[in-house]
Amino acid sequence: MPGANGDGVLRVIPLGGLGEIGLNCLVLEYGDAAIAIDCGLMFPELHMLGIDLVIPDLSYLQQLGDRFLGFVITHGHEDHIGALPYVLRDLRVPVYAPPMAAALLTEKFREHGLDVQLEVLRPRRPWRMGPFGIEAIHMTHSIVDAVALAVTTPLGTVIHSGDFKLDQTPIDDAASDLQCLAEYAARGVLLLLSDSTNAEREGYTPSERSVRGGLDRIFSEAPGKVFFSTFSSHVHRLSQVIELSQRYGRKIVTVGRSLNNSIKLATQLGYLEYPPSLFAETGNLKELAPNEVTLLITGSQGEPLSALIRIAEGDHRQVSMNADDAVILSSRIIPGNEKSISNMINHIYRRGATVHHSHNASVHVSGHASREELKLLLRLVHPRYFVPVHGEYRHLVSHRAVAQSVGMAAEATFLIEDGNVLQFDAQAARVTEPVQAGRVFVDGKGIGDVEDIVLRDRRHLSSDGLVLAILSIDQHSGEIISGPDLVTRGFIPEEGGQAYLERAKAVVSEALQQITAESRTDSMEVKEEVRKALKRFFAKTLERRPVIVPFVMEM
């Protein structure tokens, strides 16, 4: 039975985020109680046709029943909170989250019509969940209120870094709380779980303040409008743009619902301060000179329906882009979005505007620790065991090598993936039998009803097209009354393809004449004969394999 671990056994079970970027969810289980750290989503990969979102398979948590005590959130990015509105339809448990993440989740739960017990956690204010004593530790990241978690268990303390970097000059002057981490290290840490995103990157990740000079230069030199696009939750980046707009006499217009929402929440929480007169509505743009405007805008990843791509394509009703304008893409490229972003940049250049992005200007820095910072955390925490988390497999491998480079023994570092179970007792740690883990697809209002076989069919349809074969048969005599008629989509052009389709019809008719009249009274057998005949014909003549759907009407 899940969770049936005897006393004295701690189990660490990643259900997402180890082997991919996104889907972050990690379970800690002791005795008959369990908690989960984070519950994020992943945006669909190219082969996931028609899929809106991907969330982790949490069947294991559902099997735990009342033994599952709730979710603890490290910060408010979608890859750490985005799955909660979907999974909490079935899992009625509390959620503990830092202020900004809690505010974002409150909006999500309201939109989804969910009544969730949401508790706000704050650094250095410990609380208990069953056998777990939990304390949040402030860390710097590319969103406010990011925390690491110290989880004290009867076997020892587990430190989960969350997403972090060790920024010594953060915008809000609130550096990572290394003192708190050192206090736990002095008492002894059983296990460190640490962010692996930048484990392949040498050196240190630059401070958030390092982008200020590059942004200042663009704002001071741009003769027209400045379009600024970043992740909507990056409050510190937005605060710099707000300050620069004020400095250079530019009114700010926000375009995009998520941006408006993040600015509203950050302002309510006291993380953004500005005179209300600094902001203007899109309807006021015609009244302002181009060099008096900053547009905060969504779409840095080239999303097809985002405001920025619509403006770049000249398809936005209220906002236009012109030759003197500057466009700043102040975010990292999420893997898989390279082509979309490249296409968008081409559209922007066709408008005559100038594009500034991480490859040609100092307009973005990562929110994740590089190798020297990872080493520093390892040496500071000095754990007995180490597990790299949050990253593709190559990131985990690289981070494990970092741990060994600072003196950790190979047998004390574990490379695990989603579904693996790492079990601790008083003497040792070992990997045991895995649990169910994987991905659940969200398609429209459907959650989990699209499986791999459906995606396979979608890929088949997208690559080879569809042929619908329609015919009517006398259900008593087996005589063909009408047809076969062939309707195609994405296979061959209807104009100019009629002669070929007539040949295909003749092949079907001939195949049906080869079977007995009695067999033709069985619609299932007729469908199979039609499918086989067309499949052979298309493969032989065109070397194509469309989806063939026979439709037999029995008269």
Nearest to 391 by CA among 381, 382, 401, 383: 401
Share of the chain above pLDDT 70, in %: 92
What is the rounded CA–CA span in Å between residue 409 and residue 20?
A: 25
Residue whose entry in the numeric block shows the structure tokens 């898989």:
336
In this model, does residue 371 exceed pLDDT 50? yes
**Of the candidate ranges 138-142, 246-250, 328-332, 522-526, the one whose mean pLDDT is the lowest:** 522-526
Q: What does the pLDDT read at residue 495?
A: 67
Nearest to 294 by CA among 249, 261, 259: 249
pLDDT averaged over every residue in the chain? 90
Report the DSSP pairing between strands 10-16 and 18-19: unpaired
Handedness of CA 51, 56, 59, 64 (dihedral sign): negative
Q: What are phi and psi of 108, to 5 degrees?
A: -65, -45
In this model, does residue 47 exceed pLDDT 60? no
The residue that leads in pLDDT, 547 or 145, is: 145
Q: What Rg value do the Cα atoms of the chain yield, rounded? A: 29
In sequence order, the 6+-apart residues with CB closer than 8 A to the CB of 249 are 292
What is the rounded CA–CA span in Å between residue 439 and residue 459?
A: 18
The residue that leads in pLDDT, 126 or 303, is: 126
What is the rounded CA–CA span in Å between residue 117 and residue 66?
A: 15
In this model, does residue 474 exceed pLDDT 80? no
What is the rounded CA–CA span in Å between residue 453 and residue 455?
A: 5
What is the rounded CA–CA span in Å between residue 20 and residue 417?
A: 9
What is the rounded CA–CA span in Å between residue 458 and residue 480?
A: 32
Q: What does the pLDDT read at residue 150?
A: 98
H or E element, residue 545: none
Domain 10-203+366-447 = CATH 3.60.15.10: yes
Q: What does the pLDDT read at residue 2?
A: 47
Other CB atoms closer than 10 Å to residue 291's CB: what's the count? 15
Q: How confident is the model over 176-226, as pLDDT tens digits?
A: 999 999 999 999 999 999 999 999 999 999 999 999 999 999 999 999 999
Query: What's the chain's length in residues?
Result: 555
Please list the residues that pair with 10 across neighbouring strands. Answer: 30, 424
| Residue 437 near residue 56 (C-beta atoms within 8 A) | yes
- How far lies 382's CA from each of 42, 145, 150, 157, 295, in Å? 32, 25, 14, 12, 46
Q: If pLDDT is split at 50, 70 and 90, which confidence band does 479 have?
A: confident
Residue spans of the domains in the chain: they are 10-203+366-447, 208-356, 465-554
Count of alpha carbons within 13 angstroms of residue 327, beta-carbon side: 28
Write out the DSSP string of 387-427: EEESEEHHHHHHHHHHHHHTT--GGGB----TT-EEEE-SS
**Single-letter residue type at 543:** E
- How far lies 490's CA from each of 293, 298, 327, 468, in Å? 46, 33, 38, 12
The residue that leads in pLDDT, 337 or 424, is: 424
| Residue 245 near residue 272 (C-beta atoms within 8 A) | no
In this model, does residue 450 exceed pLDDT 70? no
Q: If pLDDT is split at 50, 70 and 90, which confidence band does 3 have?
A: very low
Q: Catalytic site residues?
A: 195, 368
Burial class (CB in 10 A: 0-12, 13-18, 19+), 373: buried
CATH number for 208-356: choose from 3.40.50.720, 3.20.20.70, 3.40.50.10710, 3.40.350.10. 3.40.50.10710
What is the rounded CA–CA span in Å between residue 110 and residue 477?
A: 61
Nearest to 347 by CA among 329, 321, 326, 316: 321
Residue whose entry in the numeric block shows the structure tokens 């006398």:
474
Q: How confident is the model over 237-294, as pLDDT tens digits?
A: 999 999 999 999 999 999 988 999 999 999 999 999 999 999 999 999 999 999 999 9
**Single-letter residue type at 449:** D
Q: What does the pLDDT read at residue 439?
A: 85
Q: How confident is the model over 397-423, as pLDDT tens digits?
A: 999 999 999 999 999 999 999 999 999
CATH assignment of 465-554? 3.10.20.580
| Residue 182 near residue 380 (C-beta atoms within 8 A) | yes
What is the rounded CA–CA span in Å between residue 84 and residue 316?
A: 33
Q: What does the pLDDT read at residue 305?
A: 77
| Residue 121 near residue 95 (C-beta atoms within 8 A) | no
In this model, does residue 445 exceed pLDDT 70? no
